[in-house]
Amino acid sequence: MTQMSPTIRIDQVGGPEMMKLVDLPVGEPGAGEIRIRHHACGLNFIDVYQRTGLYPLPLPLALGMEGAGVVEAVGAGVTHLKVGDRAAYASNPPGSYSALRVMPAKTVCKLPEAICFETGAAMMLKGLTTQYLLRKTLPQAGLQAGDFILFHAAAGGVGLIACQWANALGYQLIGTAGSDEKCALAREHGAAHTINYKREDFAARVKEITGGAGVKVVYDSIGKDTWDKSLECLRPFGLMASFGSASGPVPPFSIAALGAKGSLYVTRATLFTHIATREATQAMADDLFTMVTSGKVKIRIDQRHALKDVAQAHRDLEARKTTGCSILIP
């Protein structure tokens, strides 16, 4: 049986006005797929990258990488989910900005009863990103309690989760943000130190905070605007972990500079490498679920928009007007 689902789609790349609310047919799941009815959908900067064409994908394109809801139908070969299960995911291909969709079951996880749909939709991509950063994307000597780390955009969706998670692990997270209010929010969530990058030189402040030593790792989702000074913040053998490009892509740089700055390491990490298998996805999700249900990490949702108001949600995100997580309600 085919049902119709309100869905946000773009027919060409560009600004927020390119997103249109259309009714699309949704059929039965095939082998390895499920049909899920969303109760909430997550909003992430990767959606902006796809909408603008920074991350090119075939058009027309239904947007959205994150959602939570109830499984309505299960295709052949799917054994970890059944009809009626509460579920949440961060997943390719895009398409979560919708009421209903058919999608691969591989990266969809059962959502614990203790976690509501809105929290599930808000936390999967951002929480799994934090998980792979703090658990797996580590400097060559590892991280120990008391170590300094630098985290840009510390008051954003990933940032506030990272502040709490790093605090639970005993790390001294230095967070950057664009206002005193955002800095205060990061500290409330466990950041040991904060820097307002609009009125302070964050590289100089990092050196001051660390007694001139620098940090072992920089986690950077900003890209172009923070790259050069982030390298200055690293101690010898430190790791520059780039996982986003909110200000634009990092321009070409000389690899020889990494040697001159202290035999530095650089990685460009993505979540989707880490969730390539069902087993890996489930293990990461279990870690995230444990952190949330234990209360060590609280998911802060500061923006809620109806699906039809997605253009404004994107404008606010791009203008850096948001804090915490944003969700869409179908």
Domain ranges of the chain: 3-125+278-329, 138-268
Alpha-carbon gap, residue 194 to 278, rounded angstroms: 37
What is the three-class DSSP state of 85? coil
Specify whether the CB–CB gap between 236 and 206 falls below 8 A: no
Specify whether the CB–CB gap between 217 and 239 falls below 8 A: yes
Q: What confidence score (pLDDT) does residue 31 get?
A: 98
Q: What confidence score (pLDDT) does residue 320 get?
A: 85
Residues 6+ apart with CB under 8 A from 58: none
Q: What CATH number matches the domain at 138-268, 3.40.50.720, 3.40.1010.10, 3.40.800.10, 3.30.310.50?
A: 3.40.50.720
In single-letter form, the type of residue at position 190 comes to: G
Beta strands in 44-183 (DSSP E): 61-62, 66-74, 86-90, 100-104, 108-110, 148-151, 172-177
Specify whether the CB–CB gap between 324 and 156 falls below 8 A: yes
In single-letter form, the type of residue at position 62 comes to: A
Nearest by Cα to 166 from 289, 274, 296, 44: 296
Q: What is the pTM of this model?
A: 0.94
Q: What confidence score (pLDDT) does residue 63 get?
A: 98
For domain 3-125+278-329, give the CATH number: 3.90.180.10
Low-confidence ranges of the chain (pLDDT < 50): none
Residues 6+ apart with CB under 8 A from 256: none
Alpha-carbon gap, residue 118 to 110, rounded angstroms: 14
